[in-house]
Amino acid sequence: MLMLLVRGTRFENRWSKRSLPTTPGGRRESAMESESPGPDTDSGVPWRRSDEALRVNVGGVRRLLSARAVARFPGTRLGRLQTAASEEQARRLCDDYDAAAREFYFDRHPGFFLGLLHFYRTGRLHVLDELCVFAFAAVAGVAAGRSAEGVTDDPVLRRLEYFCIAWFSFEVSSRLLLAPSTRNFFCHPLNLIDIVSVLPFYLTLLAGVALGDRGGTGGKELGHLGKVVQVFRLMRIFRVLKLARHSTGLRSLGATLKHSYREVGILLLYLAVGVSVFSGVAYTAEKEEEVGFDTIPACWWWGTVSMTTVGYGDVVPVTVAGKLAASGCILGGILVVALPITIIFNKFSHFYQRQKALEAAVRNSGHREFEDLLSSVDGVSEASLETSRETSQERRSADLETQVPSEPPNSQIY
C-alpha cells in the first residue's frame, strides 16, 4: 500500500510537470492560472461563445438554458444576454455575474421564474393559480427587459393635436381681436367654452417645461404637480362642446335647459323623494340577507338606478317585501320622470323652431346686402335684380310661416 501511494505521488508529479505550460521566462504556471479561461479582450477572442448554454441563478435556484431555446426570443432579457458583445454589457442586463462560474444572477423569487423558463423551452406561458399576478408581472418585466412603465402618445395623433390647437387658438384670438366689446366676449358662454378647450394644452405644456419635459408627460418627480397636469389633460374633453357653435340642436338644448330650471328642479325633487322612501323600505326588507343592502346610503344607489329604469343588476332584492318595494320604485320612477319631460320637450321644440327662424333671418339679411352690392355695380341687368328680389321675398315668406309665438303652449304647470 505504501508503494502504491508513493508511485501515485510520483505519477501525479510527473503529470503536473508535463501538463503545466511554461511562461516565456521559464516559470511554470499554477493549475488555477492554466485552467481559468477568463475573457481575452486584448486578443480579440469573444468573452463567451454564442452557442454556449446560459447559466441562470434566480434567487439561489440554478437553471441551465440551451442557446437554441434562448435564441427563439432574442428581444427578451435572456435573449440579449446570450448575444451580449461584452461582459460590461451583460452586467447591465442582470443583477450580478459570476465570471468564474459564468453564471448570471437575478434577485427574484424563483417560483415565479420557473414559469418563464418553461416559456423559453416550449413557447407557452403557464402560471400557477397560487402565484400573485402583480409579482409575476414584475418578474416577467425583468425577463422581457421592460423596466419603465408609462403611457406613450402616438406621434400622428400628437401632430394632429398640435394642428387642431393651432387652428383653435387662431380662431379664438381672431374673434377676440375683432370683438367690439371685450367684456361681452368673455361673458358669452360659447366663447368661454372655446377658451377652456384650448387653455389646458398650454397649461400642460408649461407644467411639462417646469418638470423638465416639454411634451407635458412629466410628473413623476413632482407628484402633486403631475396630478395637476393630468387634470389639465382631462379638461381637453371640453373641446367637444365647441360643436354647439355649429349645431342648431345643441344650442336649442342649451337654451331649453336654461329656461327649464324649474321643471328640472321639480324632476330632481321627485327623484330625491322617491329614492329616499324606497331605499329605506328596501333596506328594512333586505338588511338581513347580505345581498348589498347594508346601509341606507348604499341603498340610494339601487333606488336611483331603479327609478330611472336603468337597472344595472349589481344589487337585487331577494325577499318578497324587497321585490314589492322594487316594483313600486320602478313604477313610481316611470311616472315621476314622464311628467316633467313633456313640458321640457315642448320648450325644446319651441326653441328649436325659433333658432331655425333666426338662422333664416340672418341668411335673408345677407341676401339683401348682396342685392345692394349688385345694384352698385355697373352693367347689371334690371331683370336679374328683379329675379333676386322675388327669390328673397319667397324665402322670407316661408321663414315667417315657420315662426312661432315667443312662449310655447302648455309650458306652465297648472
Q: What would the pLDDT profile of 219-231 be if each residue is shown by its tens digit?
A: 445 456 656 666 6
CATH 3.30.710.10 fits 54-144, yes or no: yes
**Nearest Cα to Cα of residue 337 among 251, 268, 255, 246:** 268
What residue ranges of the chain have pLDDT lower than 50? 1-45, 143-150, 213-220, 222, 373-385, 400-414
Given this model, what pLDDT does residue 138 score? Answer: 59
Q: What is the DSSP letter of 338?
A: H
pTM score of the predicted model = 0.41
Supply the DSSP symbol for 199.
Answer: H
Closest CA to 303 of 334, 282, 324: 282
Q: Report the alpha-carbon distance of residue 408 to residue 350 in Å, rounded.
A: 6
Looking at domain 261-402, which of 1.10.287.70, 3.40.50.300, 3.30.70.1230, 3.30.70.2860 is its CATH number?
1.10.287.70
Other CB atoms within a 10 A radius of the CB of residue 100 amount to 8
CA distance 150 to 218: 10
- Per the CB < 8 A criterion, the answer to whether 256 and 247 are in contact is no
Task: Encode pLDDT of 268-325 as tens digits.
Answer: 898 999 999 999 999 998 888 878 888 888 889 999 999 888 888 888 888 998 899 9
Sign of the CA dihedral 337, 340, 344, 346?
positive
CA distance 349 to 404: 10
Query: What is the structure's pLDDT at 214?
Result: 43
> pLDDT at position 233, please?
66
Bridging pattern class, strands 54-58 and 61-65: antiparallel
Return the C-alpha cell found at 119: 416559456
Q: Please, are residues 65 and 54 in contact by the beta-carbon 8 Å criterion?
A: yes
Please give the pLDDT value at position 224: 61
Grid coordinates belonging to 397 = 315668406
In what helix (H) or strand (E) does residue 205 lie, and over which residues does it extend? helix 189-210
Alpha-carbon distance of 351 to 355, in angstroms, equals: 6
For 157-166, b/e burial (b = at least 16 CB within 10 A) is: eeeeeeeebe
For 103-166, give the DSSP string: EEEE-S-HHHHHHHHHHHHHS-----TTS-HHHHHHHHHHHHT---------HHHHHHHHHHHH
Instruction: Compute the CA torsion angle 36, 37, 39, 40 (nearest 10 deg).
Output: 110
Domain boundaries, the chain: 54-144, 155-243, 261-402
Please name every residue paired with 64 in a beta bridge, in sequence order, or none if there are none.
Answer: 55
